[in-house]
Structure 1
């Protein structure tokens, strides 16, 4: 991976941010993650590949499903992210998780080895998506399933779009585009389905999964945006202090339109679940 936005997610700082935000992230995507596991048809005893695993939240859950007779290989380009995954596995008493630092488009995997593969919100960050999917396809046994979650379009994910829209309105979108812009690149009609078909998968299905975010207040929503992802730093890094103040005020103003009568700020959201069979 050579693009600067992707490098943002490889740093030790990004891994720490991702570790701290694990609980909030789990609340947002728990239902979607369960659907991903169902689509991959995980069951005890399976060998599972987790592509672009990050800090391994979903790898740990998968390891619990497959049990001690099964195993999970969590791969990611970031050693720092996988170090967090390894620590979390030890803390959870899980010995059936292995990690592998590798570029998804170049990772060396044994042919027809895995019973299932998963990827949770990682495909959109891969510079060579097709090469990565083809490697996953080769590594799966005949009849095995691959299931992946990606974010849908900007208009269905205000948690993402509001941040981008404010920066656009200010004329301060960084170059190259920050990683938050890439989060929705596979959300367009037919894109994920086409990528899976092109890699050789059959019985491809893509379905929408709601991912609402519930915050106690506008301030809590803004703080989550500010502190739970390295993407916020990408958006505001080149801004002056005055511009950052304007950005914060305008973002909070736009968040206010999602406030309920009890003061909670509830943002709708949508992911796409894509799956296919080798």
Structure 2
């Protein structure tokens, strides 16, 4: 399989619970993994309804569990039981979450994973976060320690791990990070975060919130203009750069994870178009 096609194969998409009504008509390919974020502005029922909508659309739900938002173990059990009732419990993504002060005993994703509650409720695959350009509030060494500890804890409980990265605009940084993950002995599949089609101004605002690059660096790597903040940017250039730098034999299993940013339809159209554009691109490249 050629490198660009390999990235597009089995890609995943990230949405919020409020995107659930758009999923049925979005046109995502059957079987696409759809991550559902765990936001403080949405209710548990909102997320369950979104998981049900993902399944009804022929897609695979991957609900997020934000460790710091759970007040106690019973709340976690209730969430997992609800997901099980909707057939959405086998794959989850565990994140520490935004609140600075935990609502309960789980101050990190690792705390929730080590609780044993996921395996007890039939979870088979646990997604965890990766940060190619670092984290604005967590030192680099701690990120690597946490990655190793989380993958080890997941394996010890008989579950599989996947690592999904924060979105980036810098293919060089992403490839260096993937190499570091593999050199650390983590062989789990990696899903590289990319923004779906989005307005330039909105994209830069998200990047600032996440501590991703500088405006000048984003423009240089991503190829859009700061003079047209009303324009739309797509990840085509980044994906092509990433594909050109990946060595599948060394970097292992790598896919894309596309952040929809509230426009599932535009994201779906970009995915369909990217698959078509990859064909002539790959035909001219060695495998």
TM-score calculated relative to the size of structure 2? 0.36
TM-score calculated relative to the size of structure 1? 0.37
